[in-house]
């Protein structure tokens, strides 16, 4: 019956057509634009972008922030995800809700909280001054530290939820078994928990890393003009100085970074 | 044993780090000083009144609401058939179709916004259709993923039974499949709406004079105003998301879909 073979195509065609016309085509066109100088093919946009020390610094800083935040969230979230087993069952729903609420909240509102906390007259500086640890307000806002803090708060929920669900799949008694056989808690982590939850770690790590590379609000509000990342540089080039050549190069670099990391996910995490 | 308490302590400290800043925003929103100060030294609710008086917030809230509802509906209309086709038929090239459908989730939002800006400028289009297109494309991967999950969990037997009893595939879908996956569809709708409503990166280049979304208006407002109005607005948004999470966690078990 011809109807059986045509039906699925009728179902997927509208979405595919829509995405091709208003998403894939414009994005590919933007990416290809980066390879044209005037009307001819050339790598001029790339040599001039990568020839600028400032741009290289921004690229390096973006990678550093993404890497540090990914590592820190893994180090924090492993024990935290393990700890949920000790939470009384009737409070586990509440704990999960507390992790999800930030995810569902406007990133502008979430980042704004750090402006209140980290500013010159913010709570952190007030506490430092009162305790006598410092004599005058410390500059935290518009430094790389502020970006680390903001990004960590933004993306830790993703790592935490991924690791919690990875640990739910752990057989309940593997850790006590390892301990009773003489493993230290560090050994039972590196030899038992880590290998069994590696897929979750790779998925969570990818979400955090790509999230850091593409996030705009956090570096814009907490880093400002002093601590630019690729996302804020892209906005500046395209929105402020109208340098579309540089903007298209940054677009290619950002996409290449996220696709590389997502590709690593597919290779390493595989079976998810 | 003492060391066995370390993980749970780290969990609680992490929760404080995640949620604590919200409390600070709540408190700052009730400050009486004309510039943001923490802790505030006097009490006032004037900033909540001001939120509703700022014209750019009122108009951009309506834009964000309409945009969220329209892009969510469009993404559901385009995405549910795809999820159904992928879960019920063996399509040659299913991998390619899946890759195309997840691609909006892989491309950085700013890049999407910039690409569509240039594209729609060349077409001579206006801002709003490009915003709607960008948001719909962004939501499609979420909708397909969440609806697919519920379709895979629903055994095809009952719809096959309906079809063998004479129902058309469309009737079987409407009367048998849809009622069984409505939890997944509702969860997809909620996640999609929130994603659109909170979206900054995709919208940044696509808002202009006359058309702005709420998050973009907040960013613009913050550049020139240092009073706690944004704290009051953020408080309202945070309460809104807490309410949403509580309701849908209870009704749908949202955490299964995030």
| B211 SS3 class | strand
Mean pLDDT over A115-143 rounds to 83
What pLDDT, on the 0 to 100 scale, is given for residue A213?
95
- CB-based contact (8 Å) between A167 and chain B? no
Render pLDDT for B218-237 as a digit per residue (tens, 0 to 9).
Answer: 999 988 887 889 999 999 99
Mean local confidence (pLDDT), A47-74: 96
The pLDDT score that the predictor gives to residue B121 is: 75
Q: Tell me the residue range of the domain where B237 lies.
A: 3-256
Give the model's confidence band at B3: pLDDT under 50 very low, under 70 low, under 90 confident, else very high. low
pTM: 0.90
pLDDT tens-digit map of A69-108: 999 999 999 999 999 988 998 898 889 889 999 998 999 9
Return mean pLDDT, chain B: 89
What's the pLDDT band for A1 if we cut at 50, 70, 90?
A: very low
Q: For B87-91, what is the mean pLDDT?
A: 86
Per-residue pLDDT band for A180 (boundaries 50, 70, 90) equals confident
pLDDT score recorded for residue B196 = 96
Question: Could you give the domains of chain A?
Answer: 47-268 (1.10.3720.10)
- Would you say B241 and B194 are in contact if contact means Cβ atoms under 8 Å apart? yes
The interface predicted TM-score of the complex, written ipTM, equals 0.90
Mutate one of A23, A32, A124, A238 to test the B interface: name it (highest B CB count within 10 A). A23
The count of other CB atoms within 10 Å of the CB of residue A160 is: 26
Inspect the interface and report whether the beta carbons of B204 and A216 lie closer than 8 Å: yes
- Residue A131 pLDDT: 84
User: Lowest mean pLDDT: which of A110-124, A141-155, B79-93, B224-238?
Assistant: A110-124
Statement: residue A118 has pLDDT above 80:
yes
pLDDT of residue A138: 83
pLDDT at A272: 38
Across residues B9-19, what is the average pLDDT?
95
Distance of alpha carbon A157 from alpha carbon A77, whole angstroms? 9
Q: Please state, rounded to an integer, the average pLDDT across all residues of chain A.
A: 89
A54 touching B (Cβ < 8 Å):
no
How many domains, in total, are found in chain B?
1
**Residue B199's pLDDT is what?**
94
CB within 8 A of A248, min separation 6: which ones? A30, A31, A33, A34, A45
Find which of B22, B110, B195, B221 to mutate to test the A interface (most A CBs within 10 Å of its CB). Answer: B110
Facing residue for A113 by CB, picked from B21, B88, B255? B21
Whole-number pLDDT of residue B83: 94
Q: In this predicted structure, what is the pLDDT of residue B257?
A: 61
Contacts A95 to B, Cβ<8 Å: 11, 15
What is the rounded average pLDDT of the residues B146-158?
A: 89
Digit-coded pLDDT (tens) for A223-265:
988 899 999 999 999 988 889 999 999 999 999 999 998 887 6
Interacting residues of B240 by C-beta distance below 8 A, sequence separation 6+? none
What CATH number does residue B127 fall under?
1.10.3720.10
A to B CB pairs, distance under 8 Å: 257
| CA separation for the pair A86, B3 (Å, rounded) | 13
| Mean local confidence (pLDDT), A189-211 | 91
**Residue A147: what pLDDT?**
96
What pLDDT is recorded for position A2?
41
Chain B residues with CB under 8 Å of A96 CB are: 249, 255
């Amino acid at each position: 019956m011809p109807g059986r073979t045509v039906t699925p195509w009728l179902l997927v065609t509208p979405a595919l057509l829509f995405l091709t016309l208003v998403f894939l085509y414009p994005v590919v066109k933007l990416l290809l634009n980066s390879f044209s100088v005037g009307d001819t093919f050339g790598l001029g946009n790339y040599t001039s972008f990568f020839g600028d020390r400032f741009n290289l610094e921004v690229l390096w800083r973006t990678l550093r922030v993404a890497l540090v935040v990914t590592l820190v969230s893994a180090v924090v979230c492993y024990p935290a995800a393990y700890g949920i087993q000790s939470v009384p069952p009737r409070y586990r729903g509440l704990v999960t809700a507390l992790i999800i609420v930030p995810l569902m909240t406007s990133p502008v509102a979430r980042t704004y909280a750090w402006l209140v906390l980290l500013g010159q007259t913010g709570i952190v500086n007030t506490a430092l001054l009162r305790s006598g640890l410092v004599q005058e307000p410390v500059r935290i806002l518009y430094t790389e530290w502020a970006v680390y803090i903001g990004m960590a708060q933004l993306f830790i929920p993703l790592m935490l939820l991924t690791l919690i669900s990875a640990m739910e799949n752990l057989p309940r008694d593997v850790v006590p078994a390892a301990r009773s056989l003489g493993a230290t808690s560090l050994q039972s982590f590196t030899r038992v928990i880590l290998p069994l939850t590696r897929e979750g770690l790779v998925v969570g790590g990818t979400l955090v890393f790509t999230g850091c590379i593409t996030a705009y609000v956090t570096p814009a509000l907490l880093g400002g003009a002093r601590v630019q990342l690729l996302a804020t540089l892209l906005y500046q080039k395209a929105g402020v100085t109208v340098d579309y050549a540089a903007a298209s190069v940054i677009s290619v670099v950002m996409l290449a970074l996220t696709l590389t990391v997502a590709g690593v996910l597919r290779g390493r995490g595989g079976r998810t | 044993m003492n060391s066995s308490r370390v993980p749970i302590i780290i969990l609680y400290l992490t929760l404080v780090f995640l949620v604590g800043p919200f409390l600070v925003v709540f408190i700052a929103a009730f400050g009486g000083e004309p510039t943001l100060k923490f802790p505030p030294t006097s009490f006032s609710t004037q900033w909540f009144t001001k939120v509703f008086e700022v014209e750019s917030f009122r108009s951009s809230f309506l834009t964000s609401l309409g945009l969220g509802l329209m892009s969510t509906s469009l993404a559901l209309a385009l995405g549910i058939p795809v999820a159904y086709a992928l879960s019920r038929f063996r399509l040659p090239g299913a991998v390619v179709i899946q890759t195309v459908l997840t691609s909006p989730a892989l491309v950085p939002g700013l890049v999407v916004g910039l690409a569509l800006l240039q594209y729609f400028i060349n077409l001579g289009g206006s801002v709003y259709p490009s915003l709607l297109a960008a948001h719909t494309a962004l939501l499609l991967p979420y909708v397909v993923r969440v609806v697919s999950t519920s379709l895979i969990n629903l055994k095809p037997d009952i719809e096959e039974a309906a079809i063998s009893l004479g129902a058309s595939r469309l009737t079987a879908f409407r009367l048998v499949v849809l009622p069984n996956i409505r939890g997944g569809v509702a969860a997809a709708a909620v996640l999609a709406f929130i994603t659109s409503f909170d979206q900054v990166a995709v919208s940044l280049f696509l808002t202009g004079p006359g058309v702005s979304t709420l998050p973009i208006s907040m960013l613009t407002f913050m550049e020139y105003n240092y009073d706690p109005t944004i704290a009051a607005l953020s408080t309202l948004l945070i309460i809104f998301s807490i309410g949403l999470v509580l309701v849908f966690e209870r009704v749908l078990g949202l955490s299964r879909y995030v």
